């Protein structure tokens, strides 16, 4: 279980997170929604330790993430980055098997390649993609490779940062279905940040809306349309008028 | 009084900023060296960096040294003719190449070729979240990206300087024997007899220092890039400028240490 209590983060005078309280239960899929620039990515990076919060507590299974052994902590995570963040200098299979080629999870090269190809198949890519370089792939294929990399080392917790950004609706649907299937199949805890409401409904067990540095609303995805929260209503229906200023 | 305070503030701000930058670079250098000495060692990355810094820099280093050695021979011959000292061409080409021009020109070529590519590559990795991805994959970016490159700079640039010195002397030899009428055997004999061990040691030490500076600046500016394409451009420009200036400053310092006694 991931718990955030009163987490604050500012960049100079800009206070991005102003007291975040959020709980993500083990084995569930939490989707965090919110407008552009509201701090969704900052929130996610605070949990991973890529950004240090100014105050507040973040715990994973009751342990403060700032005090745990970093390698063991990170070995539990997989992450799909918004732009894929694939390593340009490595072929696709080495991107997928990155963790399996070095460090505590190191395997023989041939075995790591086999696992990478199997994970590529899992996300709908054929073995002939394995030796291509990321620059030779389309945006949708890069997302799939990123997804394969996120699941390659059997992560318990997977983060998805804008998994459908920049993809056409059909490819977005494919990625959403893959995420849902994989999260269910491996029983992982998932946290996704997105503004794509189709993704929210396809991926989420629970939804949290981040606005003005705090969690404005949180609840099961089934309650999304009947929340009674004017901020959430405005956001999910994409209205220009409402309590959220359209020009921020 | 307020004018004096404003003047002091105007002087103090850049001084403090420069000291802060020096501190940040020093901490970065210390971390890079620490990661270079502590396992795990990423041998493939180290091999790649050795090839990129060393082997692939050979053509530019060789051509630069050859033409510089040849031009130096012509200059010394024509300048020496003013006081009947044309015969010192082999000795001055040798000492000029080994003590100064070899290390400095190789250092500047490495700053142009390697520092820029390291800074641009790492900065691009930073803005496309590849550095964050490395962290989430339990891989320390300093260990994976910086340590192999700085190690390659420390090891390969002295080798390049040594090769550059020899090629530069050969450039002088070709010009001296083909255009200026020197006897080939005498030219080589004078060159070899004139160079001292201290000249060679200073040349290689300078190479190691310049290689360290060039690769460190590329990594430092790359890791600390701003956002977007403009950030990558600024990081690359800053890295090359800083490397070139620091190489020339270090050259002065090392020359003082080796030859002022």
Cβ contact A103–B139 (<8 Å): yes
% pLDDT > 70, chain B? 99
Alpha-carbon gap, residue A191 to A163, rounded angstroms? 11
For residue B167, pLDDT beyond 90: yes
pLDDT in tens, B202-216: 999 999 999 999 999
Chain centroid to CA A60: how far?
Answer: 16
pLDDT at residue B183, as a whole number: 94
Domain boundaries, chain A: 2-237
For residue B158, pLDDT beyond 70: yes
pLDDT in tens, A170-226: 888 888 888 888 888 888 899 999 888 888 999 999 999 999 899 999 999 999 888
For the segment B109-131, the average pLDDT, to the nearest whole number, is: 95
In 3D space, the residue among B241, B48, B231 whose CA is nearest the CA of residue B124 turns out to be B231
Residue B25 in domain:
no
| B228 close contact with A: CB closer than 8 A | no
Residue B29 in domain:
no
Number of domains within chain B:
1
pLDDT at residue B148, as a whole number: 96
% pLDDT > 90, chain B? 87
Alpha-carbon gap, residue A224 to A243, rounded angstroms? 17
Of A80-89, A189-198, B64-73, B134-143, which one has max mean pLDDT?
B64-73
| A71 close contact with B: CB closer than 8 A | yes
Q: Are A189 and A60 contacting, i.e. CB atoms less than 8 angstroms apart?
A: no
pLDDT at residue A241, as a whole number: 80
The shortest CB-CB distance from A81 to any of B42, B133, B138 is to: B133
Alpha-carbon gap, residue A173 to B26, rounded angstroms? 49
Q: Which two tokens stand for residue B240?
A: 């090359």
Which range of residues forms the domain containing residue B91? 42-259
Confidence class for position B29, pLDDT limits 50, 70, 90: very high
Contacts of A81 in chain B (CB under 8 A): 129, 132-133
pLDDT in tens, B227-251: 899 999 999 999 999 999 999 999 9
Q: What CATH number is given for A2-237 in this structure?
A: 3.40.50.300
pLDDT at residue A135, as a whole number: 92
Confidence class for position B3, pLDDT limits 50, 70, 90: confident
Round the average pLDDT of chain A to a whole number and report it. 89
Q: Are A65 and A49 contacting, i.e. CB atoms less than 8 angstroms apart?
A: yes
| A45 close contact with B: CB closer than 8 A | yes
Among B48, B134, B136, the strongest candidate for a mutation testing the A interface, having the largest count of A CBs within 10 A, is B136
% pLDDT > 70, chain A? 99
Q: Is it true that the peptide bond before B248 is cis, omega within 30 degrees of 0?
A: no
pLDDT at residue A218, as a whole number: 93
The shortest CB-CB distance from A77 to any of B128, B136, B139 is to: B136
Q: Which two tokens stand for residue A31?
A: 């989707």
Round the average pLDDT of chain B to a whole number and report it. 94
Cβ contact A87–B128 (<8 Å): no
pLDDT at residue A226, as a whole number: 84
Bridge partners (DSSP) listed for residue A218 = A208
Contacts of B137 in chain A (CB under 8 A): 74, 98-99, 149
């Amino acid at each position: 279980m991931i718990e955030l209590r009163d987490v604050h983060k500012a960049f100079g005078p800009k206070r991005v997170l102003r007291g975040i309280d959020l709980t993500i239960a083990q084995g569930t899929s939490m989707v965090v929604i919110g407008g552009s620039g509201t701090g969704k990515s900052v929130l996610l990076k605070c949990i991973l330790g890529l950004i240090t919060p100014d105050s507040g507590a973040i715990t994973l299974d009751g342990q403060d993430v700032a005090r745990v052994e970093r390698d063991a902590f990170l070995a539990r995570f997989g992450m799909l980055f918004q732009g894929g963040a694939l390593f340009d200098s490595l072929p696709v299979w080495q991107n997928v098997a990155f963790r399996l080629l070095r460090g505590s999870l190191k395997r023989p090269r041939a075995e790591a390649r086999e696992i990478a190809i199997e994970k590529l198949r899992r996300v709908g890519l054929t073995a002939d993609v394995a030796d291509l370089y990321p620059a030779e792939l389309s945006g949708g294929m890069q997302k799939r490779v990123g997804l394969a990399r996120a699941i390659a080392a059997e992560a318990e917790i997977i983060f998805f940062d804008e998994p459908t950004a920049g993809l056409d609706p059909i490819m977005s649907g494919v990625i959403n279905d893959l995420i849902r299937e994989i999260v269910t199949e491996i029983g992982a805890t998932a946290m996704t940040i997105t503004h794509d409401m189709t993704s929210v409904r396809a991926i989420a067990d629970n939804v949290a809306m981040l606005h003005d540095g705090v969690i404005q609303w949180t609840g099961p995805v089934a309650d999304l349309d009947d929340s009674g929260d004017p901020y959430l209503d405005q956001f999910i229906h994409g209205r220009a008028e409402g309590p959220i200023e359209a020009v921020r | 009084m307020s004018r004096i305070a404003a003047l002091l503030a105007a002087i103090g701000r850049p001084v403090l900023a420069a000291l802060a930058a020096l501190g940040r670079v020093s901490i970065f250098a210390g971390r890079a060296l620490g990661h270079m000495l502590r396992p795990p060692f990423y041998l493939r990355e180290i091999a790649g960096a050795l090839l990129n810094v060393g082997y692939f820099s050979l053509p530019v280093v060789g051509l630069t040294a050859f033409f510089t050695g040849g031009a130096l021979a012509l200059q010394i011959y024509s300048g020496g003719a003013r006081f009947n000292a044309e015969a010192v061409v082999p000795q001055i080409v040798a000492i000029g190449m080994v003590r100064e021009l070899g290390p400095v020109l190789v250092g500047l070529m490495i700053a142009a070729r390697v520092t820029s590519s390291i800074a641009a590559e790492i900065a691009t990795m930073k803005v496309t979240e590849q550095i964050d991805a490395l962290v989430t994959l339990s891989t320390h970016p300093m260990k994976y990206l910086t340590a192999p490159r700085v190690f390659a700079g420390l090891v390969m640039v002295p080798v390049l300087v040594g090769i550059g010195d020899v090629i530069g002397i050969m450039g002088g030899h070709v010009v001296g024997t083909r255009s200026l009428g020197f006897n080939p055997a005498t030219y080589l004999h004078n060159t070899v007899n004139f160079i001292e061990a201290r000249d060679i040691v200073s040349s290689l030490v300078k190479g190691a220092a310049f290689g360290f500076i060039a690769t460190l600046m590329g990594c430092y500016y790359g890791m600390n890039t701003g956002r977007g394409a403009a950030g990558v451009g600024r990081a690359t420009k800053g890295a090359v400028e800083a490397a070139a200036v620091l190489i020339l400053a270090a050259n002065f310092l090392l020359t003082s240490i080796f030859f002022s006694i």
